[in-house]
Structure 1
């Protein structure tokens, strides 16, 4: 890639052209699920008390 094509690709990406968009609700639910899973694993291995 030359500098010109790189700049064009970055400009299109910044404007939101030609890339997939994701549903924010789905991303939020997946992030919540991952955080809850991490919380469960952390608390299940914490046997100090």
Structure 2
């Protein structure tokens, strides 16, 4: 977000980071229909 690389975004499932620790890409692939709610948060550094 705001010019940040894609590996700077977190994909959390029940609070657990599911990204590949080395590459930062999505590590797990799941059925998106299983998600009941989502939350997007951002910070702005100046």
Q: TM-score range by the shorter chain?
A: under 0.3
The TM-score with structure 2 as length reference comes to 0.21
Task: Give the structure with higher Rg (CA).
Answer: 1
Using CA pairs under 8 Å that are at least 6 residues apart, name the structure with larger relative contact order, 1 or 2.
2
Where is the strand percentage greater, Structure 1 or Structure 2? 2
The TM-score with structure 1 as length reference comes to 0.20
